[in-house]
Each structure stands twice: as C-alpha cells, then as structure tokens.
Structure 1
C-alpha cells in the first residue's frame, strides 16, 4: 500500500509515524511546477492525501485510488467523471466547525453592535448616541443548514439567548426566514442548493435583517443580494466567499464588496485556525486508515 502526501502541511511527527505504519509513505511538501511531475508523483499511489494546488491539474488523469482531502467542500469536482476512473474522494466533515462558527458569531456581533465603527475611533458624535444598536439576546436567528457548522453556531447562539431556528431540506424557506433578525447561510453547495437564495429569498427577508454567509457564493444570487443591501432590506452583511481560492483578494465579488460600507468581507479565511489544521489532517488520515481496512468513511462518490 503506497500513501502519498501531496502538498499537505502541518503533519505532526505522530501523524507521519501513523501513516508509515499503514504502508509505504511518501511526503511531497513542495508543489511541482509541471503537470508531468505531479502526475509522476501520484500515479502509482494507492492513497493520495491531497491539497488542491498539487492535485487538481492531474486529478482526472488518475485511476484506481482514494484521494482524501483535508477540507469539506468538494462541489467543484466532477464526481461522476472521477468515479468512472475508479477514483474515490473522501472529505473531512466537521474539520472547520470550530473556526467557522467562531467567525460567524464574531460577525454577528460586529454587525449588530457596529463594533467596527466604534473601534479605535478618536471622535464620537452626539448623534451616535441616538443610533439604534441591536444586541443578540432575544433576537430571531435562522440558520440555513443544520450540519456541523450550523449546529455548532446554533448551540453557541442559544447560550447567547437568541431564538434559534433552522432551515433544513424539505422546509418552507420563506416561512423560516420571514421573522428572522439574522440569517446565517451554512448550506452545503450542491445541485439542490445552487442559486437557492434567489431574488425571491432576499425580497422575503424581514426589513433590516442581517445576512451572514460562509458557503459557496454559487448558492446565492449576487445581484439580488446587492439589490437587497442597496434597498435596505439587508441592514448589513458578512461574507466569506468559499467558492474562491483561500486568501483570494482578486475575485470580482470580493473586490466589489470592499467598498460597500454595509458589508464585511474576508477572502475565504473563516476556516483558518490551528484547530482546523489539526482536525483536518487527523480526519484525512482516519479516512486513509479506514480505506485500507476496507471500511471506508466520508466518501462523497
């Protein structure tokens, strides 16, 4: 059994020892420049522990192996095409739940309490005291999606005395959001959720609601979202565009939102913490071990 680590960083000595006990373990930390070298490094592996920058150039040229990724979202992959080559994909569900939940709750507080406006300021106007500042306690929160992140956010917000509702598959979306003071989009990106949050969704929000999203921007209609901001339906928003590359400040949506004073935007970093790295690598190795023991887990195709 040959296991190749392709561009994976942060593996501990303990984790590397564990992989060496499972088979022949080869670790490539640097990403090759050429497609040919990438393919040469991966084609004879039985299991690939892969980062996208290393794997994506050659993924559809590979055959008969497991590729275990250290992240959750795999909506960018053609899973049927991979299955035809007998390439199985495993992800790492829940690896980012702590970091992303922390980001979401931080954004809820920044938006509602207008903390950015009042941080490091040298002047407070008398009129600022008349501004409506909304706390979280007692407010209605609808979380779209009840997976690892959605459930974690709900648990935290229950402790903050918020009234938490969830939208899940089969629910009436309009009914679930109509009274929400805050809406958190934690939906997984797939064919069913693509453009689910459309013009009708944003028109159905309670006027003055706050919108926070940490999933692929393909889930919501960008124009309808911006129109809702402009019209005042959405009082403020926080977006971490998961469809973009991590730390990508060049995407059209990111650059467009930078100048909008009602929006906090970060370049796909909500997941980024020491705990995510630790959990992601651990789940990825668990997937590898389960595959070798013929009890596969976290397969998405």
Structure 2
C-alpha cells in the first residue's frame, strides 16, 4: 500500500511506519510535492492545496489524514463524492489550546492584561481589581478534545463547569451538561464563555448581538474555535457598550484582523494571532494519531480516530 507523507517525518517515525506490514512509504515535502508523487497513492498524510485538483481526480486515493484539526478549507463536497475517507489531527493541540484559554481567564481575573498595558507606558499602577478563577463558572461551548481538556484544568483550579453540545450526555469534569438548544437558559450563570466550535453553516455568526446580550455583563468571551462563528461587529459593540466585560480572542473574522479594528485598542481585549494551536509537541501528537489510524486501516479498513462526518463538516 503506497503511503505518501507531506509531513517531514523523523527517521524514527519513518521506521515506525515502515514496520507496519504492507506500508510502502514515501516522504515528500509539501513545497516540492508534484502530481507524479501522488500516482498510485492510497493513503495521504496531510493536505496539499497545491495538488487539490490532482487529489480529487485520483483513482487510487482512499484516505486522507490531515495534520490539523480544521477541514473547512478543504473541498469537502468533492472528497465526499469521491468516497475518500478524511480524518484530522483533532486532539493533537488540545493541551496547548486549553492552556491558552486558561491563560486568558487568569489574565483577566488577575488584571494582568491591564498590567501589560501599564508596562508599555512604564507605569507602576497597582489600583486594579484582583480576583480569582477559583469558584468561577466557565461555560464550554463545544466539548470535544479541547473543551474536555480545559474542563480538566478548570476543575483542578476549583472552577465550576458547564458543557454545551448537541447531546446533554454527561462527561468527566463537566458539572452540568446542557444541549445546544438550551444554551440561552444558562448563559447568565457563566463568568467565562469559551467558544471552541468548528466552522460550519450551523455555527456561522452564532455568537452575535443577541447572544452577547444574554451573557452576564461581568462575563468574558473567549474564542479559540473558528473566527467565522463570531460576528465581529456585534462583538465590538458588546464590548464598547459594556454588554460583556471583555474578550480573549485567538481567532477573529477576518484574519488577520483589520488594522482599523477597534479591538486593537481595547484594554479589555486580549488578542493573539491564531497561535493557540501551535506547540513544539504538536507534530509528534498528530503523528501518533496517524499511526494509530494507519494500523487500523491496514488491519480492518477502518479509520478509528477523528473521522470527518461530511454532512456535519467536521
């Protein structure tokens, strides 16, 4: 079985894959890969925009494993029509993204966002509000790998957790799980609302004026999912009118954020350049997901982890 990796594997990783019976591995960098490299390939590790047309037209390709979690930029309909299996690296970045979401919460409660502003002006200003995340409530909108990891951290710090997803089935470290359709009934309970939702037609601009109006005025909105799930203009208005207390934003719409956006100059906003998903440990974790899936695929034809549901878009 021909396997093409566009990820620059270490010698040890190459050896681990080549030891799997039936694997004929070829490693080519995403920058130098050509349509010729794709010939006869059944399994592709990572995505190539450069070869998109060739991938869709391939007569041998049966499964693509991306290294990243998001697949909204891929031609999902075309891949679905071709019957190509698609799986993601979801979960490989759950630790670092959860840590960054937690960092936003800690910075707001300890007024470290304001201290950072003071530092740029060389001002020694201690008269701020200093609170704690202890005993606060965080609402996790989307309780996948990231939400579950953040829930674990939150409970370790003595926080209360509310999980929101399509099903209200209980999960570890979630004090109360509510169905997505009932989210409005519980928004006022949250000191932090964390968005880790994917970009789909159902989530586009879900976090809008009406949503922010239903949050507590003392609550913070944290977005680590996809920028298009939030109406940026409505968020700016909610912050300017003090409908909510502040926002920690790793993702925005559009990206990069326009230079004239009011968000840049708001002291109650923490902006990061979509870097929560980056970690020196990411590729090793993504490789482990691929290796697990590859062994299963060869043994029984099934992809066991992070298989994309084309009808849902994730």
Assess same fold via TM > 0.5.
yes
Structure 2 counterpart of 1:102: 99
Q: Contact 1:214/1:242 (CA < 8 Å) preserved in 2?
A: no
Contact residue 99 and residue 272 of structure 1 kept, 8 A = yes
Report the counterpart of residue 251 of structure 1 in structure 2: 256
CA distance in 1, matches of 2:220, 2:213: 13
Shift of 1:18: 2.0
- The answer to whether the Cα contact below 8 Å between 2:220 and 2:247 also exists between their aligned partners in 1 is yes
In the aligned structure 2, how far is the partner of 1:232 from the partner of 1:243? 21
Higher relative contact order (Cα pairs below 8 Å, separated by 6+ residues): 1
The offset of 1:242, in angstroms, is 7.7
1:173 aligns with 2:183: yes
Q: Over aligned residue pairs, what C-alpha RMSD do you find?
A: 2.4
Residues 1-301 of structure 1: matches in 2 within 5 Å? Answer: 1-6=1-6, 8-9=7-8, 11-22=9-20, 23-32=23-32, 38-52=34-48, 55-56=51-52, 58-63=54-59, 64-119=61-116, 121=119, 122-125=122-125, 128-129=126-127, 131-169=128-166, 170-171=179-180, 172-241=182-251, 251-252=256-257, 256=261, 257-293=263-299, 294-297=301-304, 298-300=306-308, 301=310
Aligned residue pair count:
287
Indicate the larger mover: 270-279 or 78-87: 78-87
Give 3-state SS (helix, strand or coil) of 1:211's partner.
strand
Cα distance in 2 for partners of 1:262, 1:57 equals: 45
| TM-score calculated relative to the size of structure 2 | 0.83
- Cα deviation digits, residues 151-194 of structure 1 (max 9, x gap): 11111111111121112223411112112111111223323222
Change (3 A) 1:224 1:43: farther
State the Cα deviation string for residues 212-242 of structure 1 (Å, max 9, x = none). 1111111121111111111112222111128
Q: Which runs of 5+ in 1 are unaligned?
A: 245-249
**1:21/1:73 Cα in 2 relative to 1: closer, same or farther (>3 Å)?**
same
Bigger Cα displacement from structure 2, 147-156 vs 287-296: 287-296
Report the CA distance between 1:110 and its aligned residue.
1.4
Q: CA deviation at 1:279?
A: 0.6
State whether residues 143 and 186 of structure 1, in contact with CA within 8 Å, keep that contact through their aligned partners in structure 2.
Answer: yes
Contact 1:166 1:176 in 2 (8 A): no
Q: Is there any run of 5+ residues in structure 2 with no aligned partner, and where? A: 167-178
Q: 1:200: Cα distance to partner? A: 1.0
Is the CA contact (8 Å cut-off) linking 2:228 and 2:252 kept in structure 1?
no
